[in-house]
Chains A and B, each alone.
Chain A
Amino acid sequence: MINNKVKIKTTNLNVYYGDKQALNDVNLEIHSKEVTALIGPSGCGKSTYIRCINRMNDVIDICRVTGSIEIDGNEINKKEIDVVSLREKIGMVFQKPNPFPKSIYDNVSYGPNIHGLAENKVKMDEIVETSLKKAALWNEVKDRLNEPGTSLSGGQQQRLCIARAISVNPEVILMDEPCSALDPIATAKIEELMDELKKTYTIVIVTHSMSQAVRVSQRTGFFHLGKLIEVDTTEKIFKNPNNKMTQDYITGRFG
């Protein structure tokens, strides 16, 4: 199903790391409550792109971002934006699961805690349980909430990171190769989870696997050398892309 409501709109987005230009005039619309997959060879700018959406590039001194990024029509690429509350709205999951060196419970309660989302312990218990259930992890961890997050398997850790991301009720979840360190079963569980999560959240996933993009996404964007070469419905991209470069990349012909 294709949704036409735009959640994130980037216009003429340019990113520079010092002298090096990492993104070149990217114009891309991310649709609400859909999974958008970003594909392209290493160094093409797809991770740089999603890091702009939650202003993660701010932490890199030499990084400069120009152009417009609107979320629900509000510009976020400006100094006055409070990045802490922005990141409450925009969760992120990384390639390597990175739970805090804390208990499973504390990993999930951390965000709601710092954002003051729970007035008491009962409310916090509820948030932790709901988040772990949404991340399809509750049944596996409900009896060991005080054990360290790092004691879980890789796939469980990744779902814990997803639970941590959704515990603060975000609107957007950014995923940077969330399955590349996982086995096929753990990957299947994350992909199944994404199907469920997209009913509530807007998801942007960076992936190196075109097959994964086909399985999880409704739209796909292809990046090359910092440029967005083509974006279309995923079906159009995998059956009959407009651009020869897109076709050569997804068919494994890239020179």
Chain B
Amino acid sequence: MSDEAHIVKSYEEELQNLNDSLIKMGSLTESQLADSMEAIIKVDKESADKIIANDAKINELRAKIDNQIMTVLVKRAPMAIDLRITISTLKISHDLERIGDLAKSVAKKIKPLPHDLPKELIGSLRRLGDLVQKQLRNVLDAYLNKSKESAIAIWKNDEQVDDLTNTAMNEVADFLGKSKKNLELATHLLFVTKNIERAGDHVTNIAESLYYLIEGEYLEGARPKGKDIEKN
């Protein structure tokens, strides 16, 4: 990191604006994910519509960031830390957009749900959703504080997401096995669970981009995988 400011003030402003756009996009994505989790658990069809409509705002911000980055690349030919900020911001914004898309996919599954979720399935789903939300919040905080340690911790924590996903999937499979009538609900829930896990993977990508931004090197080794997932 550099604590010095650029000689050219407008360059400083452009990077600041880029940072602001990303933070705005991050907090929007965070609430979309939180809202979609809340809505699926409550089978709140009204909220689902709002979440689906709100996704366009995230996409707009992503397009805005793309444009801001193109301008910086052409005008400034960024070097070193500025180059890493620019490229990492581009990558992070695309991961946030994908998390937004996944929140929207979860919301889309709410409408066709035939009835409320059975109590025995809510616990694991909620725990998984809470964990991924916490991971997203932490990675956005880590971005703000440019914390390498947090980036590593979040990256390692994806193992827990995988474990919880596996538990949730098994519970849905058990529920499905009980009766053929459960087929429709169970199928939707399997997709929802997978979507949340995918959102967690994008959080891990963000942690990787952040680490590269800070260190100029890639996080080494394969991303940790949950034990049970590995076996399957």
Contacts and interface: CB of A to CB of B under 8 A. Distances in A.
Given A211-B77, A239-B216, A240-B216, A253 B6 contact: yes
Interface in A27-54: none
A247 B80 contact: yes
B4 interface: yes
Interface string B1-29: 01011111001000000000000000000
What range describes how many residues of B lie at the interface? 10 to 19
Contact of B6 (A214, A237, A240, A251): A251
Q: Is the interface of B mostly helix, strand, loop or mixed?
A: loop
Contacts of A210: 77, 79
A254 B2 CA distance: 11
A253 B215 CA distance: 19
Nearest to B76: A252
B78 interface: yes
Interface in B75-108: 76-84
B149 interface: no
Given A240-B216, A240-B217, A244-B2, A254 B83 contact: no
Interface string B183-224: 000000000000000000000000000000001110000000
Interface residues of A, number: 18
Q: Is the interface of A mostly helix, strand, loop or mixed?
A: helix
A242 B4 CA distance: 16
Given A239-B216, A244-B2, A251 B80 contact: yes
Interface string A218-243: 00000000000000000001111100
A252 B81 contact: no
Contacts of A73: none
Contacts of B217: 240
B79 A251 contact: yes
A145 to B, nearest CB: 39
Contacts of B77: 210-211
Interface centre among A210, A214, A244 (most CB of B within 10 A): A244
Interface centre among B7, B78, B81 (most CB of A within 10 A): B81
Interface of B: 2, 4-8, 11, 76-84, 215-217
24 contacts: A210-B79, A238-B80, A239-B83, A239-B216, A240-B84, A240-B215, A241-B80, A246-B80, A247-B2, A247-B79, A247-B81, A248-B2, A250-B79, A250-B80, A251-B2, A251-B6, A251-B79, A252-B7, A252-B76, A253-B5, A253-B6, A253-B7, A254-B4, A255-B4
